């Protein structure tokens, strides 16, 4: 697809971001939000210093009021840079939108993994923390990846944040295709039209028919 967006951040916003409870189950939800805000402030500084345009792909679906809350949350951080908010609606064609982004950034969004499966440029930032339950938000969990790689980091460090974005900006198409070929099966494989699933269903239907006979 023709790229019409530069940097696109995949939001995971929830109402609890505005007034985070101290504890959910046994982990500190305040830390969950705090680390992401730190990340977003780095993203703000990077875009401003490097004249990059940012698009935030909204996550709130329930009603218009929640979408406004989400937009205002990001507006407080990105108010003085060139940015855009794409509200989530039931009619939004999310996959067509992400296909038109030069680079996607995500903390722990499932959509980020799906985008990688679609062979898009994606930066992963597993910065929720290593506290019990939060550890499952590291990149590639439950697989055991190193804490940093060519397009990901689990370190809450600004230099690591910039390293990932610079890498993704500078990779040629050929270089990125080689990285995808190396990691795609482990991260998120993509099978066009679910051909493998269709084949498996047909095979099992034939077995079922034979058993009935």
With a cut of 90, say whether residue 5 has pLDDT above it. Answer: yes
Rounded to an integer, what distance in angstroms lies between the CA atom of residue 22 and that of residue 28? 5
pLDDT at residue 186 in the model: 66
Partners of 103 in the β-ladder: 7
pLDDT at residue 66 in the model: 85
Give the contacts of 120 (CB within 8 A, at least 6 positions apart): 98, 99, 101, 104
Residue 8 CA, distance from chain mean position: 9
pLDDT at residue 140 in the model: 61
36-68 per-position pLDDT tens digit: 999 999 999 999 999 999 999 999 876 788 889
Please give the residue that has the higher pLDDT: either 169 or 32.
Answer: 169
Residue with tokens 């080689």: 178
Rounded to an integer, what distance in angstroms lies between the CA atom of residue 199 and that of residue 43? 44
142-179 per-position pLDDT tens digit: 778 799 999 999 998 999 999 999 999 999 999 999 99
Q: What is the pTM of this model?
A: 0.83
pLDDT at residue 149 in the model: 93
Rounded to an integer, what distance in angstroms lies between the CA atom of residue 94 and that of residue 97? 5
């Amino acid at each position: 697809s023709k790229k019409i967006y530069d940097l696109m951040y995949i939001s995971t916003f929830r109402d609890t971001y505005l007034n985070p409870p101290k504890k959910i189950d046994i982990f500190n939800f305040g830390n969950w939000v705090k680390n992401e805000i730190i990340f977003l402030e780095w993203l703000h500084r990077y875009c401003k210093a490097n004249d990059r345009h940012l698009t935030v792909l909204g996550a709130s679906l329930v009603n218009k009021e929640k979408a406004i809350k989400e937009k205002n949350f990001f507006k407080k951080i990105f108010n003085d840079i060139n940015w855009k908010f794409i509200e989530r609606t039931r009619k939004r064609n999310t996959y067509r939108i992400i296909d038109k982004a030069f680079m996607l950034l995500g903390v722990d969004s499932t959509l980020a993994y799906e985008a990688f499966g679609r062979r898009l440029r994606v930066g992963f930032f597993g910065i929720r923390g290593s506290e019990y339950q939060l550890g499952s938000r590291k990149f590639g969990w439950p697989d055991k990846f190193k804490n940093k790689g060519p397009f990901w980091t689990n370190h809450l460090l600004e230099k690591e944040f910039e390293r990932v974005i610079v890498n993704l900006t500078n990779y040629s198409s050929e270089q990125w295709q080689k990285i995808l070929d190396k990691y795609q099966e482990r991260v998120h494989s993509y099978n066009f039209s679910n051909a493998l699933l269709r084949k498996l269903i047909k095979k099992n239907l034939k077995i079922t028919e034979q058993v009935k006979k």
